[in-house]
Amino acid sequence: MTWQSPISPGYSWYEATIPERPVFPVMPGSRKADVAIIGGGYTGLQAACNLARSGTDVTLIDACRFGDGASGRNGGQFGTGQRVWADETEEVLGREWAQRLFDMAENAKRYVLGFAEEHAIDIEFMPGQLSVGHKASLERDYRNHVEAMTGRYGYPHLSFMDREETVSRLGSSHYHFGIRDTGTGHIHPMKLVVGLARQAALAGANLYEGTKALKIEKKGGAVVIETTSGTITADRALIACNGYIGNLEPVTASHVMPIRSFIGATTVLHGHPEILPGGESVDDSRFVVRYFRKSKDGRLLFGGREAYTADNPRDISVHIRRQICEIYPDLADVEITHAWGGSVGITMPRQPFCREVMPGVTTIGGYSGHGVMLANYCGKLYAELALGKSTELDLLKQLKIPAFPGGTRFRSALLFLALSWYALRDRF
Ligand SMILES: Cc1cc2nc3c(=O)[nH]c(=O)nc-3n(C[C@H](O)[C@H](O)[C@H](O)COP(=O)(O)OP(=O)(O)OC[C@H]3O[C@@H](n4cnc5c(N)ncnc54)[C@H](O)[C@@H]3O)c2cc1C
């Protein structure tokens, strides 16, 4: 067994397969900083790295270890665009906004790949993504999406797959059709966290693990963050806690809700060359999305089954196995060596949430299952905004993201009911 995250359930295969990782100390007492950052996932670490590089005195704290939240435990899939397809966004926000959000996501993809290459971080990038339909009735939407992307969005990497091609690329007859995207891919997420933390430290960021923020307030023009190991007094602050925000800050908590998602890793698949022979990652059309891929060493990493409460299923792998078997019945007896979960931060419209919650204090999160590239990029954009170098982050600030209804008392219960209803519809 490897490390057990205190805030996310189960033992992750990613943890078990990273080479030695640097350990960062608990904050040794009260300190001052130009910028304080709360949360050491992709968002916070990228912001710290980019700020420190420009000579800013930056202090980042995480309540646990870097990557203990979603960043070290996710499906590793980049996808393309935002969580919601651009052609759907267009219907609500109009063509220009949809294009700008799409372009931001493409910038994010390029940024993450460039960052890893520049710093020789082996993120185990593997190309290709298949988005597959579990209901025949969705075929028109999938075809329209390919047309919109290749046409008016100028993204040339998508092609529609009929049933025959879908079956042969997946090695499963479970899905009706799909879209093949050759312009994206998937990575080992924890290797990116570790490489990124190393780069942030090298750049001179003050990085602390095991240090929890308890309260944020403005005092005499400064931001004062009370933590479990003293206070940080800073000119400005970034809240990068995403789906782990808890009660720290009410605006973030009312706009970014956590849902649990779970992943299982099998042993190396021997004798199944038909399963994903092209090495692509897969996501499906269910409301409770199933997402899977093969690792570089040939395991199936399979994600699905969500939970809408903080409770965790007693045996994550039982649920994962059931879902694997629906798609790959021949894997009924395969050993699942690791099974784990984490909190995905979602927003009502499934667009990222970025807002100034008090003067000088910005919160960013709610990437809604699309944060592998977006969280990295938004962390970098926060740094650029703070340094006066770019205003691209303002695009997200202008999005009208409503709070989840129900107030502090009923929000979780209402979300549970709504999501359970949609999840039920996946079965029919
Ligand atoms: C199981 C799973 C599968 C996913 N699959 C994909 C995928 O395939 N593709 C994709 O694009 N996205 C995926 N995601 C989402 C993606 O991982 C996230 O969007 C992204 O990692 C968010 O990064 P972050 O830095 O904003 O937040 P996180 O990585 O969640 O980091 C938040 C950090 O804040 C810290 N924190 C919280 N409160 C405090 C406090 N009071 N004081 C100090 N520190 C605090 C936590 O300890 C944590 O480390 C998945 C997520 C999960 C859980």
* Residue 379 token pair: 């962390």
Ligand 1 in reach of 7 Cβ (< 6 A): yes
Which pTM does this prediction carry? 0.96
pLDDT for 134: 95
Our answer on whether the CB atom of 242 is closer than 6 Å to any ligand 1 atom is: yes
Model pLDDT, residue 162: 98
Nearest CA to ligand 1 atom 49: 69
Atom of ligand 1 nearest to the CA of 345: 19
- In this predicted structure, what is the pLDDT of residue 428? 62
- Would you state the structure tokens that stand for residue 278, as one six-digit string? 């092209």
What separation in Å is there between the alpha carbon of 370 and the centre of ligand 1?
10
pLDDT digits (tens, 9 = 90+) for 370-416: 999 999 999 999 999 999 999 999 999 999 999 987 777 667 776 77
pLDDT in tens, 58-79: 999 999 999 999 999 999 999 9
Which residue shows structure tokens 């990652």?
A: 281
CA angle 156, 350, 345 (to 5 degrees): 115
CA–centroid distance, residue 257 to ligand 1 (Å): 12
Does 342 sit in the ligand 1 pocket, CB within 6 Å? Answer: yes
- CB of 13 sitting under 6 A from ligand 1: no
Q: Which atom of ligand 1 is nearest to the CA of 372?
A: 11
- For the chain, list residues with pLDDT below 70: 1, 306-313, 409-410, 414, 417-428
Q: Which of 241, 305, 306, 319 to mutate to test the pocket of ligand 1 (most atoms within 8 A of CB)?
A: 241
Q: Which atom of ligand 1 is nearest to the CA of 7?
A: 47
**Contact predicate 372/108, CB 8 Å:** no
